[in-house]
Structure 1
Amino acid sequence: MEINWYIMSVIIGSAIVTFIPRILPLVVLSKLEIPEWGINWLKHVPVAVMSALLASELLLLDNKVSIQENTLNLMSAIPTLLVAIYTRSLLGTVLVGIATLMTIRFLL
């Protein structure tokens, strides 16, 4: 089997490109002492990112806010959110979300 150097260079380049953004912040931030307000601020980043992802998925259609077009998704998001809040189980939340959306689509 012959090695194609172009494919090998693409694989190595891709590995480097994905490795640098993961390791560089870790190396830089491990040497710094982050103030208390910075730590508190960083605790909110995952919630903000998840909210932005959910809002765009639940409310946008063709880059426009469209609640009427996304009614089924919004209806299934309510019990899913309640399960997520009360159980804090990722598996349970995903299963309830899928089951709710399937049921709503079947009934309507």
Structure 2
Amino acid sequence: MKFRVIGHRRDNAARVTLEFEAQSKAEAERNAIKQGIEVVRVEVAQGDGGTYAVGQARPEGAVQRSSGGGGIGKLLVLLLVLIAAGAAVYYFWPQIAPLIGR
């Protein structure tokens, strides 16, 4: 299988894209590291010139996967924080009111 490795050179930080014929993503990544490349991304190169991402490699070598959006989750967290803040103001209003002059 052909892999496209994207990264940068350690000595001058120039961006580099290399293609390797390898059995796995890890083998392609090791080959790039042997050539002095700091790996940023590894993709599977398809025959028609297109690629698709396999994963994001961190400098430690761990793979970072995309969480995929999360818009509803963020909205829910915001709603819970606003409810908690409103409850705190309601609970402490007798102590807050004299401080602001009401």
Q: If the length of structure 2 is used for normalisation, what is the TM-score?
A: 0.24
Question: Which structure has the bigger radius of gyration?
Answer: 2
Name the structure where strand makes up a greater proportion of residues: 2
Name the structure where helix makes up a greater proportion of residues: 1
Q: If the length of structure 1 is used for normalisation, what is the TM-score?
A: 0.23
**Higher normalized contact order (CA 8 Å, seq sep 6+, divided by chain length):** 2
